[in-house]
Amino acid sequence: MITKLQNYKQSVITEAVTKGLDKNVPLKDSGIEWIGEIPEHWEVKRMKSIYNFGKGLNITKADLVDKGISVISYGQIHSKLNTGTCIKDSLIKYVPEIFLENNNASLVKKGDIIFADTSEDLEGCGNCIYIDRDMLLYAGYHTIIAKNISTYINRFFSYLFQTDCWRSQIRKVVNGVKLFSIPQKLLSSTDIITPSLSEQQSIADYLDQKCSEIDKLISIKQQKIEKLKDYKKSLIFECVTGKRKVS
């Protein structure tokens, strides 16, 4: 059921960001294989025309501390807890405040998107996280920062970047065997769909609500699994210690 819900969520996102919310709008051929048909008034642009790119902090896990300046690195972006469209507190790590003296270029702000620049599998190529709130935050090790230089709405693109169809551009050309590298040049050359600003806003709002509903259902299923696991452990313990009579 969890897998079905996850697949449903993916299909809802893909349909919304590639076809829009109006089912009656005329479509046109985008001329790009992974996109197919899109609403006739939408455009396709190269990512480098909308974003400037930067690199995260040059640090390792050894630089992390219990308290300090918030940072999100490669590991947190690839975490199963990361939806890609918002920051979860459980994903935040910390670096010493001394980093503020010389590393302002790696600070991110609300609306920026942090991509992992490596992945251990093809499925993770394109994994990212959208910065959905104002806070003092660094992009960490093995990351690329995408900073919006246009008036477009990044929250819309954060959903587009979750789709398999958009990521197919990266997966087809990415280099690696056990570890795949996703350089800035590759990201900047990908194509992205650009509806009107009002549609970007409407689609992002719709997906915020719809995905939240699906995530809640998934969470309920996951909680039931954890309860069953705990029950199984307690049952085994009671039986092997003689606390429960077995007939």
Q: Residue 190 is part of a domain; what is its CATH number?
A: 3.90.220.20
Number of domains in the chain: 1
pLDDT score for 246: 73
Q: Is 203 inside a domain boundary?
A: no
Q: Is 13 inside a domain boundary?
A: no
Cα–Cα distances (Å) from 56 to 67, 115, 245, in that order, read: 19, 10, 58
pLDDT score for 19: 94
Is the distance from CB of 68 to CB of 217 less than 8 angstroms? no
pLDDT score for 33: 85
Q: Which of 145, 67, 160 is nearest to 110 (CA)?
A: 145
The structure's pTM equals: 0.88
Q: Is 100 inside a domain boundary?
A: yes
State the amino acid at position 97 in one-letter form: E
Return d(Cα 112, Cα 90) in angstroms, integer. 19
Q: Is 236 inside a domain boundary?
A: no
Cα–Cα distances (Å) from 61 to 7, 8, 65, 114, 145, in that order, read: 33, 36, 9, 18, 19
Q: Is 48 inside a domain boundary?
A: yes
Q: Is 137 inside a domain boundary?
A: yes
Is the distance from CB of 110 to CB of 134 less than 8 angstroms? yes
Pairing outcome for strands 113-116 and 191-194? unpaired
Sign of the Cα torsion 89, 90, 92, 94 reads: positive
Q: Is 70 inside a domain boundary?
A: yes
pLDDT score for 161: 97
Query: By residue range, what is the domain housing residue 121?
Result: 43-194
Q: Is 98 inside a domain boundary?
A: yes
Place of tokens 């709405």: 153
Which residues of the chain have a pLDDT value below 50?
A: none
